[in-house]
Amino acid sequence: MQLSMALANAADSGGSDEQLMLDYAAGDSGAFEQLYLKHKGPLYRYFVRQIGDRPLAEDLYQETWSRVIKAAAGYQPQAKFTTWLYRIAHNLLVDHVRAVKPVDLFTEVQTDNDSPDIGADEGEPGVSLEEEQKAGLLKECVSLLPQVQKEAFLLNCETGFPARVIAEIVGVSLEASKSRIRYAYQSLKECVASKWEASRE
Amino acid sequence: MNNKRSEQDMQEIHHLYLVQAKEEPPKSVDAEILALARKRSVPQATTQASKKSGRSPWIWSSAASVLLIVGLSLYWPELQKPAIDGPAMPEPVLMRSPEPMGATEQEALADMPAPSVQKKLRVSSEPGMMKSAEPAADNAMLEIQGMRKQAIMDNTELVQALQRLSTLVEQGKLADARVEYQALAETMARLPKEDPRRVRYEDLGKLLNQ
């Protein structure tokens, strides 16, 4: 019990990521591998859910890690590693999409290749069919959110960042960050309910 | 009540999100990133090592340069002479000589023993004669330089000159001896009083004056 609690604390504590990064800077490539495996999924989805163009999302994802690797030699753990990582990702996303589409930012949403198939009955063990279907609807609803709310929601959901950290990453006030998160959840709840009702009729 | 409901809604959405949040980067992307990380970690380690060892060559090369300069200056001490010796000083004056001589320059020349040179300098500094006097001033300066160089005799020349003066005094050729004595006056004045050459010179002078 004590061991499992210690492991959980180590995983949750900000120190372990920073230490892994310092170890990598000292030449331990295994430390980077641990760090990468821990954060690759959430970071990948952060890009994929915001950009409909999957190859572009992969490029930005790869570029983010490339910058982390390049910056490792001069890395100083002044902030949490995850805050730093997502700040790089956010800046890349904003710069890239601004360069490609200066007027209509982030309007590309996920296409219907990934749209949920309500009738499908293949599911995860422990997850009901209704949940599976609603989860599919949610995915579609997320893609319809305004960009700033979508980013705040993804950061909150994927990484568990509180409003304060999200504000730091995207460079807005704490109030604005809280507001974005609240509206995002509210909109998603309404969107899923509406789509669910429509699918039942 | 409202807050509690809002909290429940958030938890439900969060739960639904996690059900379908399963996208992972392709294996090829993983492999590329990890390969880059491994590639970067090796040069970092070697760079840090080379930074530590890289300090020594810089220190050694600096030390070698200083030793070389000191060694050269000790081996060829005459390299330093122009900076120390007085005779080199009039050279910049020579470069500015087309203009009338300033007070400082005249003072620098005041200790020159040759009356002919002083005369030439006076001529060159007279107003109204500036144009024609310019070449004369140049020549005068060259003459001063020549005389100064002559005045700084090396030891062999000085000993020979003293020997000549001594011979002339012994042979009773006093007129010639006085000319030789005068020629050596400036050089001897530069020597310390206890210098044996100056002592001998002064002894010969006393004999001439008797």
- The domain limits of chain B are 59-84, 98-148, 155-209
Q: Percent of chain A, pLDDT > 70?
A: 79
Indicate the pLDDT class of residue B94, thresholds 50, 70 and 90.
Answer: very low
Q: Which residues contact B199 (CB under 8 A, 6 or more apart)?
A: B193
Q: Rounded CA gap, A138 and A110, in Å?
A: 12
Distance of CA A162 to the CA centre of its chain: 13
Q: Which residues of B touch A88 (CB under 8 A)?
A: none
What per-residue confidence (pLDDT) applies to A108?
A: 43
Q: What distance in Å separates residue A194's CA from the closest CA in chain B?
A: 14
Q: Which residues of A touch B5 (CB under 8 A)?
A: none
| A52 & A140 share domain | no
What letter represents residue A83's amino acid? T
- Which residue shows structure tokens 């920073």? A18
Q: Rounded CA gap, A22 and A28, in Å?
A: 9
| A160 & A201 share domain | yes
Q: What is the pLDDT of residues B130-188, one digit of tens each?
A: 444 444 445 555 554 555 555 455 677 888 888 888 888 888 888 888 888 888 888 88
Q: What is the pLDDT of residues A46-65, one digit of tens each?
A: 999 998 889 999 999 999 99
Question: B16 vs A28: CB contact, 8 Å cut-off?
Answer: no
Question: A33 vs B14: CB contact, 8 Å cut-off?
Answer: no
| Domain closes at, from A61, A81, A108 | A108
Span A60-74, mean pLDDT? Answer: 93
Q: Percent of chain B, pLDDT > 70?
A: 51
| Domain closes at, from A64, A92, A108 | A108
Q: What distance in Å separates residue B36's CA from the closest CA in chain A?
A: 8
pLDDT of A180 higher than 80: yes
Q: Pick the more confident residue, B39 or B58.
A: B39
**In this structure, what CATH number is given to the domain that contains residue A123?**
1.10.10.10
Q: Does A36 touch chain B (CB under 8 A)?
A: yes
Q: A168: which 2 tokens?
A: 């730091």
Q: Of A33, A18, A24, nearest to B42 (Cα)?
A: A24
Burial A20-39 (b: 16+ CB within 10 A, else e): bbbbbbebebebbbebbebb
Q: Which residues of B touch A139 (CB under 8 A)?
A: 20
| A39 & A89 share domain | yes
Say how many C-beta atoms besides its own lie within 10 A of residue B19's C-beta.
Answer: 20
Question: A138 vs B13: CB contact, 8 Å cut-off?
Answer: yes
Whether A64 and A43 have beta carbons less than 8 Å apart is answered as: yes
pLDDT of B189 higher than 80: yes
| Domain closes at, from A108, A132, A150 | A108
Nearest-Cα residue of chain A relative to residue B29: A62
What per-residue confidence (pLDDT) applies to A156?
A: 95
Domain count along chain A: 2
- Which residue shows structure tokens 């399963």? B22
pLDDT of B108 higher than 60: no
Distance of CA B199 to the CA centre of its chain: 36
**Which range marks the domain in which residue A40 is found?**
1-108
Indicate the pLDDT class of residue B37, thresholds 50, 70 and 90.
Answer: very high
Q: Rounded CA gap, A25 and A19, in Å?
A: 10
Span B42-54, mean pLDDT? Answer: 50
What per-residue confidence (pLDDT) applies to B2?
A: 67
Q: Does A158 touch chain B (CB under 8 A)?
A: yes
Q: A49: which 2 tokens?
A: 């859910």
Q: Pick the more confident residue, B96 or A18.
A: A18
**In this structure, what CATH number is given to the domain that contains residue A91?**
1.10.1740.10
Of B25, B37, B45, the CB nearest to A32: B37
